[in-house]
Amino acid sequence: MTIDTKEVISTLNDLIETCKDGEKGFMVCAEDITRPELKTLFSQRAGECGQAAQELQAIVIRLGGDPEDSTSVAGDMHRRWVDLKSLITGKDDEAILNECERGEDVAKRSYQKALEKALPEDIRQVVQRQYDGVLRNHDQVKMLRDAERARS
């Protein structure tokens, strides 16, 4: 099976958008959440998403492509929804955590879709490692949301 470099670049650019969406999404959550420990956690997660995007951008450049450097339209719309919902609910931590989890659901699907494609083994390993981080983020956000729900 031959691997189409243009398809690999396209797949990686989709993941870069996903990472950029995650970076911005976690930053919005960090700004809106009230608990200081969650602000810190979400700021760290935003930084990790930014690093993941940079790692993928370097691979795209190595493959001779032009790396994506912006967020997706869907991600922008989701953040606007989070902002609107935060205004309506008074920036309720549970609502913010719900939206954060929804963002991580999107990231999970993006990485799953990428892993279904033909990727060179070294790139597949990077994508798999990043996907494992997405799963960790998702599960942690879900646990925090469930704990917040139990508190209220």
Return the domain boundaries, the chain: 5-151
pTM recorded for the entire structure: 0.85
Fold of 5-151: Ferritin (1.20.1260)
Inform me whether the pLDDT recorded for 32 exceeds 80. Answer: yes
What torsion, rounded to 10 degrees, do the Cα atoms 7, 11, 12, 14 define? 140
The whole-number average pLDDT for the span 110-125 is: 96
Q: Where are the alpha helices (DSSP H) in the chain?
A: 5-32, 36-62, 73-89, 93-115, 121-151
Whole-number pLDDT of residue 1: 45
pLDDT, position 85: 53
**For residue 11, what is the DSSP state?**
H
pLDDT digits (tens, 9 = 90+) for 53-92: 999 999 999 999 999 886 555 555 555 555 555 555 556 8
pLDDT mean over 122-129: 98
